[in-house]
Chains A and B, each alone.
Chain A
Amino acid sequence: MEDDAPVIYGLEFQVGLEETGGRCRLWLTRTCKRAHTDGKDSGLPGQGLGRRDQLGGWPSKAEGRHGPQRASARPAGARALTPQTAETDAIRFLVGTQSLKYDNQIHIIDFDDENNIINKNVLLHQAGEIWHISASPADKGVLATCYNKTSDSRVQACAAVWRMPKELESGSHESPDDPASNAQTLELLCHLDNGAHGNVACVVWEPMGDGKKVISLADSHILLWDLQASSSQAVHIHAVGLSGSFLRFIFSTPCLYSDGLYCQIYCIENAHGQLVRDLDFNPNKQYYLASCGDDCKVKFWDTRNVTEPVKTLEEHSHWVWSVRYNHSHDQLVLTGSSDSRVILSNMVSISSEPFGHLVDDDDVSDPEEHHAEKSKEPLQDNVIATYEEQEDSVYAVDWASADPWLFASLSYDGRLVINRVPRALKYHILL
């Protein structure tokens, strides 16, 4: 198995593995029992992998996708994706589905890097279709979702904090044959509801915090919540009104709002020509942040001087929905766009290690090596790779929390693709 091959997971109960390079593509599908009762076709991805030899001769992507295994039972959209932040050993992503007609689910997707196996568990999220999901940084089992409650003539966006069943917290030990039938249900911890402020757009945990503080964004307001000891109750402690479109206003690092005192630190007027869709702070240089929006651009800002963007990327050909910094190597920036592409960029010049990996002081004793280090050509800002595995708009991308070289992207048609940073670049950064 090639190391850089993406791993594709369809929320419609399919798992795909494909090798890049166009030689052959192999789809390992876990079909729903309702669609296919044939026991051989369902089963563990591991078994599927075993079948790779058998199916390996499929000549083309197109043919593979025509295969009956690809057929899915439910039309379901998906927009919500998050890594399980508190998990530091396993590579695990949480994906929320969007369906108006069926029960929505949260898929817990484990990726076994060594064996290239995808393992998943399904949790029912009956409250409504999930628009946004975020995992607690402190407790593996806790997550927050934003969801739409649809009644007859009203759609209301709510947010809630949930706890997943204990046995799923640290990965799956068993994989039920029919995930849908015996899917477990999330345990509701609390609603983040406030009658005064309506539709919640997203929920953000205090990064690096103890999992007690949550911010939600609702109707141009920022609400700060304190989860009480058992996390069973959320106390709304602060609300701040915002004017204008929600993402025009930028909130900064945890320390600045931990006292419960807000102040607007800065405001980037006209950050993007059209709507701003997402933003992310550089985890290692917190005055840098990246934003993206409907003008197809990704802009990097220095919050100390917000009049001009530091850098602008114009690689996408449609709206950019999501931008994420790599947590360990912040020169790696991931963007997902509705042109169905995921682009991995290398923004060395504004990263925390602009001259490559710095030599530790201990190593300086060897002048030769030191010299060699200095003479190494610094990387230029560039696009590392454009991933075109997705076929519909990509609404979410994120890095795995446990492995800095792995990331996932989620498209509207419910396909999750897990890719690796190209090995050459990885070694270049590490060595």
Chain B
Amino acid sequence: MAAAAAVGPGPGDSPEGPEADAPGRRRKTHGMLKLYYGLSEGEAAGYSAGPDSLDPTDLNGAHFDPEVYLDKLRRECPLAQLMDSETDMVRQIRALDSDMQTLVYENYNKFISATDTIRKMKNDFRKMEDEMDRLATNMAVITNFSARISATLQDRHERITKLAGVHALLRKLQFLFELPSRLTKCVELGAYGQAVRYQGRARAVLQQYQHLPSFRAIQDDCQVITARLAQQLRQRFREGCSGAPEQAECVELLLALGEPAEELCEEFLAHARGRLEEELRSLETDLGPSPPAPDVLEFTDRGGNGFVGGLCQVAATYQELFAAQGPAGAEKLAAFARELGGRYFVLVERRLAQEQGGSDNSLLVRALDRFHRRLQAPGALLAAAGLSELATEIVERVARERLSHHLQGLRAAFLSCLTDVRQALAAPRLAGKEGPSLAELLANVASSILSPIKASLASVHLFTAKEVSFSNKPYFRGEFCSQGVREGLIVGFIRSMCQTAQSFCDSPGEKGGATPPALLLLLSRLCLDYETATISYILTLTDEQFLVQDQSPVTPVSTLCAEARETARRLLTHYVKVQGLVISQMLRKSVETRDWLSTLEPRNVRAVMKRVVEDTTAIDVQVGLLYEEGVRKAQSSDSSKRTFSVYSSSRQQSRYAPSYTPSAPMDTNLLSNIQKLFSERIDVFSPVEFNKVSVLTGIIKISLKTLLECVRLRTFGRFGLQQVQVDCHFLQLYLWRFVADEELVHLLLDEVVASAALRCPDPVPMEPSVVEVICERG
């Protein structure tokens, strides 16, 4: 039973029975084992159980009471269930019995073999004990012998140690005594390094034992030799023919000899300065007063390799040698680098300034890139000297100058383009054949402005290319793009273009000056095109190419557009004034120079009126080339005839007839007053809109108002009045089609005829039918 209990709880030992019962049964088994081994009840309950284990009806519980369980079953269960549980129980009991038998059998075998094993072990251990005893005795004997040998060798060992010490001392002394001669030899052979090492080794000892006369003598000798050595080293150092590494070695040795470091620094730097200055001088001769032979790339290369390389080397050596000098030494080096660097920069700037006139940006940018890149290395070494910042500044400055150079170039291109246009406009008249039309000229101008802009943008863009070393500097990422390129170059150019165009409006001559009207018209259209499309196109292009990251405010497109529009408007207004003036002058001359009192009865329309109509038609064609038609006031689209017949017969008659008949002397004025009340005030020189009709309306308004004022200054005879009548009718016939509101032409011409009638002592108007006949004939 005990064996069964010991093995029973192993896993998998309960092949049958519902899985759920397993923990409960195991618990019970544990409980029994515990009982067997005398573990107290409380302890068992402590970890095995809950209150359930106390339940006497629990078949697996420790406190199982068969009587209670049976009672419970009998009381609670129906017969069938009782029968079931009975069979179940019998089956379980049987299974448990067979389990137990198996276990007992298996464990018994194991127990037998374990007993055999233990017995064999007992035998072995007994043998081992005997051998251990023998070992202990032997060890004791060995210890005894060893102690005896040590005792015997004791005093001899001491003597040997002493002898070894004396030997070492003697060797040192020998070194010391030989030192002067060795040093001399080293110096003679030029093995300065060896000499300095010897000297370093001996110095402390000599220092310590200098009170002994013999050592003193050695020390003195050494000092003399060392002084000579130092002398020679300096000599070699000063000779300067040797390269920087050897010099560095000299300096190192001198330092090891305990020479004063500061003095050495100075000398070192002075020497380096000499070499670097030589580099600078050679650069300067390259620069020369004569045109520079090597191109800028070569120049910066040479500068970079010669000067900047040298400077780097000097700086590196210096830092290596004089690291112990601390901040004072670094400061000295920085000052040195600053000074020489400054001189170098001056040279570079002079060279770059010579490059400003050139047009090749790529070469310049490459040169700048190399220049800047070379200076990055010493920049790291010599942070205090700020050479890198200075170099960046120079690059920035050059970039700025490039921008302004490009701006100048664009301006010049615009101006030369204008000159071309002027010539083209003047040419056809000379050649007598048709030149390029205004529209073509406009396209030419637009493209010949746009392409330099694009070229400039492209070449300026090189400054911000990724592979260029300075392109990631904050200036080039921010300000250069936004303030420099966008504002300075593009916006600046557009502004200056507008200004140039506007300057044509206030030419001092004011008589149209030298500016041909067609140019005004063309510029106006150009500005208008800029307003509608080109400006935003250019700016978008710029913004795309130069990803503007700067936060500073930039001129918005709308402002520029407004400026361009204003320019276009002013130009067009000026155009109207100029053309109006041309026609006005013709009309004015024609009125002022004629003797209106003694003129003959009109037979024809005066030639000048035909000329006016011709010129107006020419202007109409010219404007039509560039500007859209525009909106006319909605009127009967019927031809001029009808409108005119209304004007000439009914209106004109109603206007004149009464005033010349004594019966109704007041009608004229009344009528004219009433008419004025209904007509709006005419602003003669008013701003025009961007279309053909508005332009023509402006010109005609100016001309007719001039005619009116001139007529008012003259006195007309009867035929003079009639001539005016004919002329006005003729103008009416041809001018109405050009204007937005033909009523305007009627009104002004009415006014002219009425004024002429007022200025006539003998006003007898011509029959409208006759007027018409004359006009149609003419």
Contact = CB atoms under 8 A, between A and B. Distances in A.
A394 to B, nearest CB: 12
A262 to B, nearest CB: 28
Contact of A75 (B508, B597, B669, B709): B669
B581 A274 contact: yes
Contacts of B95: none
Nearest to A392: B676
A270 B509 CA distance: 7
B712 A412 contact: yes
A340 interface: yes
Interface in B674-695: 674, 676-677, 681, 683-686
Contact of A62 (B677, B685, B715, B717): B677
Contact of B717 (A72, A77, A153, A317): A153
B597 A338 contact: no
Contacts of B758: 75, 77, 100
A317 B681 CA distance: 11
A100 B597 contact: no
B625 to A, nearest CB: 27
Given A62-B677, A150-B715, A153-B597, A273 B705 contact: no
B709 A338 contact: yes
Contact of A70 (B581, B673, B684): B673
B598 interface: yes
A339 B511 CA distance: 21
B597 A317 contact: no
Contacts of B676: 391-392
B509 A273 contact: yes
Contact of B510 (A71, A295, A338): A295
Interface in A48-68: 62, 65-66
Given A274-B581, A295-B510, A77 B597 contact: no
A339 B717 contact: no
B63 interface: no
B761 interface: yes
Interface string A332-343: 000000111000
A319 interface: yes
Contacts of B511: 273
Given A77-B758, A100-B759, A154-B597, A317 B666 contact: no
Q: Is the interface of B mostly helix, strand, loop or mixed?
A: loop
A74 interface: yes
Contacts of A97: none
A153 to B, nearest CB: 4
A71 B670 contact: yes
B685 A318 contact: yes
Interface in A293-334: 295-296, 317-319
B666 A148 contact: no
A392 to B, nearest CB: 8
B431 to A, nearest CB: 31
Contact of A73 (B595, B666, B684): B666
A74 B665 contact: yes
A152 to B, nearest CB: 8
Contacts of B510: 270, 272-274, 295
Contacts of A101: 761
Contact of A150 (B659, B677, B705, B761): B761
B668 interface: yes
A319 B670 CA distance: 26
B348 interface: no
A321 to B, nearest CB: 9
Interface string B583-620: 00000000000010110000000000000000000000
A153 B598 contact: yes
B681 A100 contact: no
A272 B509 CA distance: 9
Nearest to B659: A75
Nearest to A338: B709
B602 to A, nearest CB: 17
Given A75-B659, A75-B758, A339-B684, A148 B669 contact: no
Contacts of A73: 665-666
A240 interface: no
Contact of A71 (B666, B683, B717): B666
B667 to A, nearest CB: 9
Contacts of B665: 73-74
Q: Quick one: which of B659, B666, B674, B715 has the most chain A CB within 10 A?
A: B666
16 contacts: A12-B669, A62-B677, A65-B673, A70-B670, A75-B668, A100-B759, A100-B760, A101-B761, A150-B715, A270-B508, A270-B510, A273-B581, A317-B684, A339-B681, A388-B681, A392-B676
The 10 closest A-B pairs by CB, nearest first: A273-B510, A100-B761, A153-B598, A318-B684, A317-B683, A155-B715, A317-B685, A71-B666, A153-B597, A75-B669
